[in-house]
Chain A
């Protein structure tokens, strides 16, 4: 790889925060969070092959207040990344690039994230009560 001093774009701190830019970096942050969540899922499934005690321990850790806090963050990240990912797919097809469309679809994704996360946790609490 040749090393030469190519021009750099202005640093990020220069720019004022906008809906579009904040939602854009959130896609990345939630993506990295979900990569971490993938290990929790793997660990959860693998623990079941070690017997009832180790699965109970995995369930116990996930169900503790800290585990629930982490899972809540992962749920938020999941619905955001899912909604915004669909927004990305629409852009890939060349749709939704007008400024007003970008704002509307962005706010729609935020609303979708919050509503779906709350609904999921209401459902999970009622299911946990039944199990």
Chain B
């Protein structure tokens, strides 16, 4: 429900558009990351000093590729949401702010997408 007056909205007063959706997604991704990061730390410990063959075996075992992909997706999503708040809080200039916001979003999508694709290639491809 819209609680703000039309004049207030036009003048850009009050909250900036979609705070609740952001807040909620940050919590949801945060909750999902609790088990995912614990699983990953546990797994990464076993991969200290591993070679490619050992790494590939681990990536391909049981639910590992799914969990790793979910971790990467959720981690970059949560990270982007967090960096967005930091940028919005500390960067004064609207131009620099918008540039940084777009850059962090693109970077998260590119690196997240590429590493999930890498997981698929390691498990399905030759």
| Interface of B, helix, strand, loop or mixed by DSSP | helix
| B residues near A55, Cβ cutoff 8 Å | 51-52, 55
Given contacts A1-B94, A124-B48, contact A48 B82 (CB under 8 A): no
Docked pose: A2 CA to B49 CA in angstroms = 56
Q: Given A1, A2, A32, A89, which contacts B30 in the complex, CB threshold below 8 Å?
A: A89
Given contacts A41-B75, A42-B115, contact A51 B52 (CB under 8 A): yes
Docked pose: A1 CA to B11 CA in angstroms = 6
User: In which size bucket is the chain B interface?
Assistant: 35 or more
User: In which size bucket is the chain A interface?
Assistant: 35 or more
Tell me if A76 is interfacial: C-beta within 8 Å of chain B. Answer: no
Query: Are A48 and B52 closer than 8 Å at their CB atoms?
Result: yes
Query: Are B46 and A127 closer than 8 Å at their CB atoms?
Result: yes
Query: Are B52 and A45 closer than 8 Å at their CB atoms?
Result: no
Given contacts A45-B72, A52-B51, contact A2 B13 (CB under 8 A): yes
Docked pose: A55 CA to B118 CA in angstroms = 12
Tell me if A73 is interfacial: C-beta within 8 Å of chain B. Answer: no
Query: Are A82 and B34 closer than 8 Å at their CB atoms?
Result: yes
Docked pose: A42 CA to B56 CA in angstroms = 15
- A-to-B contact residues, CB < 8 Å: 1-2, 28, 31-32, 34-35, 38-39, 41-42, 45-46, 48-49, 51-52, 55-56, 59, 63, 75, 78, 82, 85-86, 88-89, 92, 120, 123-125, 127-128, 131
